[in-house]
Each structure stands twice: as structure tokens, then as C-alpha cells.
Structure 1
Amino acid sequence: MDFSRVELSEEDSRFQAEARAFLDEHVTDDVRRRDRETGDNFDEGVHLAMGAAGWLAAELGMAGGPELNRLRRRLWDLEKRRAEVPWVTWGTTAIVVPSVRRHGSPELQEEVLPGVREGRIRLCLGYTEPEGGSDVATCRTRAVRDGDHWIINGSKMFTTGAHNCSYVFLITNTDPEAPKHKSLTMFLVPLDSPGIEIQGLRTVDGDRTNIVYYSDVRIPDRYRLGEVNGGWSVLLGPLNEEHGVVDAAGDGLQDVSIMTHQGSTMASTTDRIAAIAARPGPDGLRPVDDAAVAYRLGRSIARLEAALSAPHMFGRVAIAQTMRDISPDLMDVLGSAAALPADTEGAADAGGASYLYRWAPLCGIYGGTLEVFRNMIAQHVLGLGRPSYAPPKTNGKGS
């Protein structure tokens, strides 16, 4: 691994400065405060400004924005992370756009893609169902053909961003008698369609997601992506990207795992807590001079560095598990004031440690649980057999 510093050309340094100035202008303290209050991880003003300035087009490889080669794309991504841009809704939009380009009709592309480029149109993911767990192929949301239309009934959990989006990338079952991977059809459903109800759900860290109900939702066939019952092939690309099973490029200008954004937040929080622990208190003593504090802080930093260096699915698991493991220690280092939320008088680290602790359980279920990814690593990387969930056999005597 090469840890040498990348020397930027004068032009690239200017690009970085321009990107930073743009983000500093639009991603203000008020934006960040509002994002904490709403839990949306989205700000329409920032998003529309990025669209108007061409940044969204540039990220999608469309004309009309700044030219992003590999290095400049990396600089832009790092500057967005530094500024704490509310990003989740743009993340789901960018995941879906390639499927619209590849599988959508020309009519649908013309309806959707210009608005995506401008920031007016956003896309969310309609995968998980209330009783479906992490296996999205066990889909019960039904789509029944009615001439040139489809009628959709069902419900989806964890449709994050639905209340800020125009369309949902929806997985449906169009043949209940077929094997599960051959019964699926994908649609890009307008969220203003009659029969759709969006209900907000708050997670333990304060973020908002949604449950979405579909009751006799009628849409034209032009909103179908790919072949009828061929939805698994349409879904596989976006699903792999969300799962983080896409190989990183060899030039090093890419996150090594899908969870690096979350890992960066964990690193920033840890850095701030280390700085607090190194400052003398009213008694003149520094918390880090206590051997127990120094040990726990050092162990947390070592685990953090190892997790951030792990690639592919390994990094996804390592970052999420590390956040779960070190966040209690980080709170203990700060003491009881770490339990106070942001914008509360006396809160240690402005509530950063508390947020990390509450965020950690959710990072372990994004796009699938840690257990699912550990099974994927075991089967597809290590070549182990499929897990057996059958009840243990008994000797006939109840033992």
C-alpha cells in the first residue's frame, strides 16, 4: 500500500479550491443543523445548487458540468465528505441511474434523466419488505398486468428518502408460481401515483426512513425496466453496488469499501475525542494520562485504522463492526457528558460520540445485515458451504 502524498498540479489545486469554495457557500452550519433535526440526510437547496452548477451531471458522466477525471472525482468526493454534504438521496439516485439508462425505454429516459441532472428528480430504492429481511428476492409486492398498465399492491420498509424523491426503483413479484429469482420485475414508479402512502419512521440515531404502502397503484408499462420476470438481472448491478461487492480500481483513487463514508465519520469523531482527552481538565490532569483511558483510546484507533484499510466486503463488515465495538469506549473516555445529544449545553464533543453510538447498529444492517455479508464472504470468497438453518437433530428422546 502506497501512503505517499499525491502532489497536485496547479490546475488540480485550483479545481480543489473551487470545489471547496462552492461547498462552503452552500453547505452551511444551518444546513448541517437542519439535517440533524430532520434526519433526512438530504437538503434540497444544496442539491439544486449542485444541479445548477453542473456537479450532478459531472458525477453521472453527463455533459454540462465540470470535467471530472479520476483524480478530480476523488478530490470532489473528499471535499463533499469534509463539508458533510447530506448525501443519501443522491447516493440512491446515482445507484439507479445506470439501470434507467440500460433498461429504460427512450421515453422513460427522457422523462427522468434531465430532471436528475438538474436535481429536480431524485430516485429511491424499494427493496425490503416488512417480513422479507435481507433477502430481497422473497418479494411479495405484486404487480399484475392489465393491458398496457400494471396494478401494484404491497408494502416496502426502509425506503429511505421516499418523501424527497420523485420515483422509486421498485422490485415486484409478477409470477408467484415461478422460482423466486425468475418471478421478479422492476419498475420505476412515480411516487405521486394515486394509491401510494409514505409514512416516516425514525431510527434510533434520529435519521428518517419510510414505510411505503402500494394500494392498487396503476402505472403504464413504460415504467417497467427490463423484461417481465427478468427483474433479477436489472436489480443485480444496483444491488452489488449497494452491497459494495464491486472491485475497486487499481489507481487507488477510490474508496476501498462501500462503508468508507461511515468510516470517515467514525475517524473524525475519534480524532476529536482524542484531542479532548489530551487537554488538561480543571484539575490540570489530562484524561489520556490515565492508563485505562490511553489503552482504550489507543485500541479504538488501531481498530479504526485496520477497518479503514480493509477492502471490498471485508471493509464493509470491518467498519460496521468496529463502529459497534469502539463507540462505547469512546463515550466512556469522555464520561457521562458524552450521552448528551448535539446542541445540548454541556454535551461532550457536541454530541458526536452519542451519535456514533446510536448510528452503529444501523450501519450493521445497511444493504443487508453483517450476518448476510459474513455468509457471503464465507461462501463466495473462502469457498465454504452454505449455512444450514435447520433445527438440530435429536436422538428421539428430546435431547
Structure 2
Amino acid sequence: MDFSRVELAADEQAFLDEIRTFLDKHVTDEVRRRDRETGDNFDEGVHLAMGETGYLEREYRKPEDGGFSRVESRIWALERRRVHAPWVTWGTTILVSHSVEAYGSPELRAEVMPGVFSGHVRMCLGYTEPDGGSDIATSKTKAVRDGDDWVINGAKMFTTGAHNCRYVFLITNTDSNAERKHKRLTMFLVPLDTAGIEIRGLRTVDGDRTNIVYYNDVRISDKYRLGDVNGGWAVLRGPLDAEHGVVDAATDGLDDIAILQHQGMFMGTAVDKVAAIVGRPGNDGQSRIDDGAVADRLGRSVARIEMALSTPNMYGRVAIAQTMRDVAPELMDILGSASVLPTDADGAIDEGASEYLYRWAPLCGIYGGTLEVFRNMIAQYVLGLGRPVYAPVKS
């Protein structure tokens, strides 16, 4: 593994300088403070500015189609993380946009795609249901054909960003009698301002806002259907694989090697802050790191984090999320009682980093599916251990 510093060409350095100027101008302390308060992980002013400069379209497009070069794309991603730019809604919009281009009618593509690149059209994911858990193929939200329209009834949980989006990428059940659950699904791109849709906010333990969305006799045109009737699983597979992080990174080293790398880098920053604090000499000239127990616990945490960040594919997804759960309480315990104070609180010893990591870790273990689901996927599809059996054992 090559850990040498990448030397940027002159045009790449100019690009880095350009976007640092842009991000420092638009992603201000006020934007970050407002984001912590709302939990939206979205700021319309920042998003529209990215659209106006062309950054959204360039991120979306391939290099040969006018998009960022591979190096520019990596610089863009790392710099957005550096300034903690609100980004979740753009991430879901990219996923859905590829499906709109691949499966949408010409009329739908013309309605949606220009606004995606300007920043005015955002899209969210309508997958999980209140009683459905991680198995989204068991969708009970029904779509019934009525002439040239469809009528939708049901509810979706964890529709993050719905209150800031124009469309939802919605999985529905269009044939309850189908023998196989994956053959009863149809995907729609539903305008969220349609009559009968109600969006209710939910706050998670880490402070983020997500939503439960109710669909009550929601009538939409067939033009909003993506793909074939009862062929929704084929439409869903690409975005689902990307969200699950089961797509291999490119071999040029310019991709995140696993999904949740953003969260993993925050964990790395948190442990760096703890290391700096325990390494400071006290009034007696001694540092807390001089205590062998502190050094051992901190060293093990650093090693766990480095290992997790170096683990690829869906294995890395599991490793990062599990490491966050294990390391966060360890870091708080090393720092002591002041570590329970959140960001912006007087006396927060590490600017609230460990406390936030502790609250964020459980959520990272369920994004796109629980850790248990991914461990079962690894067991079944990689290790060949067969499907898990949850039925009670008969005596």
C-alpha cells in the first residue's frame, strides 16, 4: 500500500484552490450551526450555489462527458468533508437520478434532470416501512392502477430529506398475489407536493432529522413509473447496491474503499482530538498518556480505526460501523466526565467530538440495513453458509 503524498499537477492545484475558496465562502460557521440545530444535513443556499457553479453536474457526469476528472472528484469529496458541508440530500439525488435516466420516460427525464443539476430538484428514498425492517421487498405500500393513473396508499419510515425534496423514489407493491415478493414491486418517482402526502419529522438520537411519510389516496400519472410494472426490483438494484456499499472501489485508489468512509474519517478526527488532549502535560509536567493503561486503550482504539478504514467493500461498512460503536465509549471514558458535553457547550473537552460519535454510532449501524443484515449477506454470499433460519426450533 502506497502512503506517499499525491503530487498535484498545476491544473489540479488550481482546482483545489478554487473549491477551497468556494467552500470557505459558502459553508460558514452559521451554516454548520444551523445544520446541527435542524439535523437536516442540507442547506439550500449551499446546494444552489453548487448548482450555479456547475459543481453538481460535474460531480454527476463521467469525465468523458464533462464531469470532474478522477483526481478532481477525489479532491471535491475530501474538501467537502473537511468543511463538513451538508451533503446527504445530494447523495440520494445522485442515486435516484441515475435510475431516472435509465428507466424514466423522455417526458419524465425532461421534467426532472435539468433541475437536478441546477440544485432546485432534490430526491429522497422511500424504502423502509414502519413494520418492514430492512427487508424492503416486503413492501406493503400499495399502488393500484386506475386508467392512466396510479393510486398509492401506505407509509414509509426514515425518508430522510423528504421535507427538502421535490420527489421520492418510492417502492410499492403492485401485485400482492405474486408468488415471489421480488416480482410484486414497482418503482415510482412521486412528486412530494401531490395531494394526500403528509410528511412528519422524526429526530434520531444523533440529532439528525428524518421523516415518516404517509400516502393517502395519492394519485399520480403513469409517466412517473420507472421501469416495468412488477419489474421494480431491477430498477432498485443499482441504487440499493450503491447505498449498501457492495460495489467495489476503482483500482486507481481514488475512491473510498468502503461506504461510511465519511463517518469513519470523523471517527479518526475524534481520536486525534483525544490523543492531543491526553498528550498535553499537566501542572506536574506529566501527561495522561504516560499512564500505561491510557496509552494501551488509546493505542487499541487507533489500531481498530485504522483497520476499519482500510477494509474494503461491505466488509468495511461493517468494520467502520462496529468500530464506531466500540471506540466511542472508550474515548469518552479516557477523557472523563467532561466528554459527555456536546458541541458548543461550555467545557466540552474535545469540542463534543466523542459525545457526538457515541450518539452517531448506532445510526451508522442501521443505515441502508442493519449490521446483522450485512453480516448475513457476507455469511451467505461470500462464505457460502446458506440462508439464515429465524423460525423457532421444533422440539
TM bin (shorter chain): over 0.9
Q: CA deviation at 1:253?
A: 0.6
Amino acid at match of 1:264: M
Deviation digits for residues 58-78 of structure 1 (CA, Å, limit 9, x no counterpart): 011189x97511111111111
Q: Which amino acid aligns with 2:91?
A: G
Report what 1:251 is aligned to: 252
Whichever residue aligns with residue 274 of structure 2, its letter is I
Matched with 1:237 is 238
Counterparts of residues 106-185 of structure 1 (less than 5 Å)? 106-178=106-178, 179-185=180-186
Aligned ranges 1:1-399 → 2 under 5 Å: 1-61=1-61, 67-178=67-178, 179-394=180-395
Q: How far, CA to CA, are the matches of 2:139 and 2:358 in structure 1? A: 32
Mapped to 2, the partners of 1:292 and 1:164 lie a distance apart of 47
The sequence identity of aligned pairs, in percent, is 69
Q: Distance in 2 between matches of 1:269 and 1:78?
A: 17
Measure how far apart 1:292 and its partner are: 1.5
The 8 Å contact of residues 248 and 312 in structure 1, kept in 2 or not, is answered as: yes
CA displacement 1:331-371 (0-9 Å, x = unmatched):
11111011011111111111111000000000000000000
Amino acid in the other structure paired with 1:36: R
Q: 1:197 to 1:346 in 2, by over 3 A?
A: same
Structure 2 vs 1, CA of residues 145 and 359 (structure 1 numbering), >3 Å: closer, same or farther? same
The Cα shift of 1:4 comes to 2.1
Rounded Cα–Cα distance in structure 2 between residues aligned with 1:118 and 1:281: 53
Amino acid at match of 1:109: R
Determine helix, strand or coil for the equivalent of 1:219.
Answer: strand
Q: Which amino acid aligns with 1:145?
A: R
Amino acid at match of 1:7: E
CA distance in 1, matches of 2:298, 2:158: 34
Q: 2:55 is matched by which residue type in structure 1?
A: W
Moved more, 381-390 or 221-230: 381-390
Unaligned runs of 5+ in 1: 395-399
Contact 2:267 2:357 in 1 (8 A): yes
- Out of 288-297 and 111-120, give the one that drifted further: 288-297
1:304-355 Cα shifts (integer Å, max 9, x gaps): 0000000001000000000000000111111101101111111111111100
Render the CA deviation track for 1:157-179: whole Å, top value 9, x for unaligned: 00000000000000000000002
Residues 1:198 and 1:283: Cα distance change in structure 2 (over 3 Å): farther
Segments of 5+ residues of structure 2 without an aligned counterpart are none
* Cα contact 1:125–1:159 (8 A) shared by 2: yes
Partners of 1:326 and 1:293 in 2: CA distance: 13
1:314 and 1:262, CA in 2 relative to 1: closer, same or farther beyond 3 A? same
1:254 is aligned with what amino acid? D
SS state of the match for residue 215, structure 2? strand
Q: Secondary structure at the match of 2:286?
A: coil
1:393 deviates by 2.8
Is contact 1:182–1:229 with CA below 8 Å preserved after alignment?
yes
Q: Distance in 2 between matches of 1:371 and 1:67?
A: 37
Does structure 2 conserve the Cα–Cα contact (< 8 Å) formed by 1:150 and 1:218? yes
Provide the rounded CA distance (Å) in 2 between the counterparts of 1:194 and 1:370: 37
Q: Using the alignment, how far apart are the partners of 2:94 and 2:165 within structure 1?
A: 13
TM-score relative to the length of structure 2: 0.98
**Per-residue CA distance 1:46-88 (angstroms, 9 max, x = gap):** 101100010001011189x975111111111111111111111
CA distance in 1, matches of 2:274, 2:50: 32
| Cα distance in 2 between the residues matched to 1:25 and 1:290 | 43
For residues 136-157 of structure 1, the C-alpha deviation after alignment (integer angstroms, 9 at most, x for no partner) is: 0000000001001000000000
Please state whether the residue corresponding to 1:107 is helix, strand or coil: helix
Q: Distance in 1 between matches of 2:159 and 2:312?
A: 27
In structure 2, C-alpha distance between the alignment counterparts of 1:125 and 1:275, rounded to whole Å: 40
TM-align CA RMSD: 1.3
Cα 1:25–1:136 shift into 2, 3 Å: same
